[in-house]
Amino acid sequence: MRYFQSKYDYLVLSLGLLILSLVIFFPVSSDLAMFIQGGMALHNGGSMYVDYFDVKPPFIYYFFEFLYSIFGKSITLYRAFDFLYQSTFLLSSIYIFSKLGLSRTAIRLFTVLMPMAYATLSFPNTFQVESLLFLPLIWFYYLGSKSNSGKYDILIKGVLLGIAINLKYTFGILLLADILYMIIQKKGIRSIIKQSLIQFLIAFAVTILLFSPIIISGNFHSFIDYFNYMKEYSNYPALSFSWLQTAIKFGTAFYTENYSLVLFLGALFTVFHIGQKDKADKSIVQIKGLIIFVLILFTSVVIERKLLIYHEQRTLPFIVMLSSIGISLIIAEIKNYKKLTIVIILIVVIPFSPIPRIINILKYPIGVLSLGSREFYSTITEGNEGQILKKHYIVSDYINNNINTNNVLLINTGGNEMICFFDFDYKYSFPQSAFYLNYKAPKYLKDKALEDIKHADIIVLQNNDISHNMFFNYETSLSLIQKNLVIWDYIETNFNQDTIIEDNFIIYKRKSSN
């Protein structure tokens, strides 16, 4: 089915892209800053797991090394890239859902609702690894939906699966989603085993290829050492009935609040509706496939055990389509009750939809265009990330205006946004102090941290960065580093406290050698 057959299709697409363009005006988030820091370190000659450490697969940092070589530290350019990437995903989705014969009304709704759902996650939860998953994910689903597979479809699915795994290891669960999808398509068991095995082998080959920079450099043992340590992080918090209750509550809160009650009910309407559909309806299998992918992707969130808003967004491509289908069905049923429809929209739909949040985030383009990005971003108070962003601007201003050295080391957990505002490239190894201050941290990471400290002339130490998921306790960088007698003794011996900024960032300056 060719989608763009009416001027309304182009108008709807224009509206969707206009909503999506709001992300261009978002400031840097803590995770985006860590990606940029990793790309910066590699661009300046560093090596993964030797000069830079993080929990994600190395591919994401080689990708950001490429972006850093083009964009430098310009947050606007990174956000513009996110807009272009998500626009490509949106156009791909329109093409795919049209090819699969899904309702034109549902596709039009998706074209607007998907940008709404993504943009209203706001700046801390956009341009994440989950966001980068969208494009390979939708094509992976499509290739598994085709009634007649092409000659290279299985090979391409294997490549897409490999890319997904190298964005985040738990995304490998997509192979399970594909197997279940093939089962409901009533494919033969031998065909399912054959296709799954081929996909697995190709995904493994892609993984080897994307790990090749580490293998060739001889640093693979460093990756293994760090991976073994990070298993402690991935196993926290411990699985229990209490944690499962928390996960259910969090998932419910995300889909009814962050995603929106109206869209969630639309998705539920689709789930219940397909049970009443004619078994011969060609779209029923594709819709069941959407449901499978939502459930499997949500399961991957549970497996990771880190209940953060941006983790849930991996389900958006499919649950938004389920919502679009459900809302289109509801519209078809009540279209003869025009007055009632208007009343329902005004009283129920709009307040409990993403529309109020879209209106709220209009403050970003308005603020940036009227005040300028720096002045506007430094006034954001949206949650903890907004408050800390303002403080990072103040700290970076102090460093840029009062410190005559590039050897500035940050000891904090929760994001290093300020490195994007420094007048120089940040050169040190850890985006999170928890990686070496955690009580389970191995000696080689503590030694690397001490090596960084010995090289630094300025230390910025945070005293309120409580992160239970990272530290496994409720302490801060300050309290934990004071318990590391080797590191703390070196700091006390060789540094003087210079000032405290915003009550939370203690600046230490190296003592004069004279």
Residues 34-63: pLDDT tens digits? Answer: 999 999 999 999 999 999 998 899 999 999
User: Coil, strand, or helix at residue 457?
Assistant: coil
User: What percentage of the chain has pLDDT greater than the value 90?
Assistant: 63
Structural domain spans, the chain: 7-349, 383-510
Report whether 164 contacts 171 (CB < 8 A).
Answer: yes
Q: How confident is the model at residue 278 (pLDDT cuts 50, 70, 90)?
A: low
- For residue 302, pLDDT beyond 80: yes
- For residue 456, pLDDT beyond 90: yes
- DSSP per-residue codes, 219-288: -HHHHHHHHHHHHHHHT-SPP-HHHHHHHHHHHHHIIIIITTHHHHHHHHHHHHHHTTS-TT-THHHHHH
- For residue 107, pLDDT beyond 90: yes
- For residue 239, pLDDT beyond 90: no
Q: What is the pLDDT of residue 322?
A: 96
Q: What is the pLDDT of residue 279?
A: 57
- For residue 1, pLDDT beyond 60: no
What span, in angstroms and rounded, lies between the C-alpha atoms of 273 and 267? 10
What span, in angstroms and rounded, lies between the C-alpha atoms of 25 and 479? 36
- For residue 465, pLDDT beyond 70: yes
What integer is the mean pLDDT of 110-138? 95
Q: What is the pLDDT of residue 232?
A: 72
Tokens of 346: 């005004």
Q: What is the pLDDT of residue 349?
A: 78
- The residue with tokens 């341009």 is 127
Q: How confident is the model at residue 346 (pLDDT cuts 50, 70, 90)?
A: low
User: What percentage of the chain has pLDDT greater than the value 70?
Assistant: 92
User: Nearest Cα to 39, choosing from 59, 9, 23?
Assistant: 59
How does the average pLDDT of the chain come out, rounded? Answer: 89
Q: How confident is the model at residue 269 (pLDDT cuts 50, 70, 90)?
A: very high
- For residue 2, pLDDT beyond 70: no
Q: What is the pLDDT of residue 3?
A: 65
Reply yes or no: is the peptide bond before residue 237 cis, omega within 30 of 0.
yes
Q: 337 Cβ partners below 8 Å, 6+ apart?
A: none
- For residue 499, pLDDT beyond 70: yes
Q: 233 Cβ partners below 8 Å, 6+ apart?
A: 55, 470
User: Nearest Cα to 164, choosing from 132, 128, 187, 120?
Assistant: 132
More confident call, 415 vs 339: 415
Q: What is the pLDDT of residue 315?
A: 96
What integer is the mean pLDDT of 187-195? 93
Specify which of 293-302, 328-337, 411-420 reaches the highest per-range mean pLDDT.
Answer: 293-302
Q: What is the pLDDT of residue 62?
A: 96
What integer is the mean pLDDT of 338-357? 76
- Paired strand residues for 459: 409, 508
Q: 162 Cβ partners below 8 Å, 6+ apart?
A: 202, 203, 204, 205, 206, 207, 209, 210
Q: How confident is the model at residue 497 (pLDDT cuts 50, 70, 90)?
A: very high
| Residue 228 CB-density burial (10 A; 0-12 exposed, 13-18 middle, 19+ buried) | exposed
Identity at 406, one-letter amino acid code: N
User: Nearest Cα to 2, choosing from 86, 119, 121, 94?
Assistant: 94
Order of strands across the sheet with 505-510?
408-411, 458-462, 505-510, 495-501
Q: What is the pLDDT of residue 383?
A: 67
* DSSP label at residue 512: P
Q: What is the pLDDT of residue 6?
A: 81
> Dmax of the chain from CA atoms?
87
Q: How confident is the model at residue 470 (pLDDT cuts 50, 70, 90)?
A: low
Q: What is the pLDDT of residue 300?
A: 92
| Range 453-456 contact pairs with CB under 8 angstroms and sequence separation of 24 or more | 453/409, 453/487, 453/490, 453/491, 454/490, 455/407, 455/409, 455/428, 456/407, 456/408, 456/409, 456/428, 456/510
Report whether 308 contacts 383 (CB < 8 A).
Answer: no
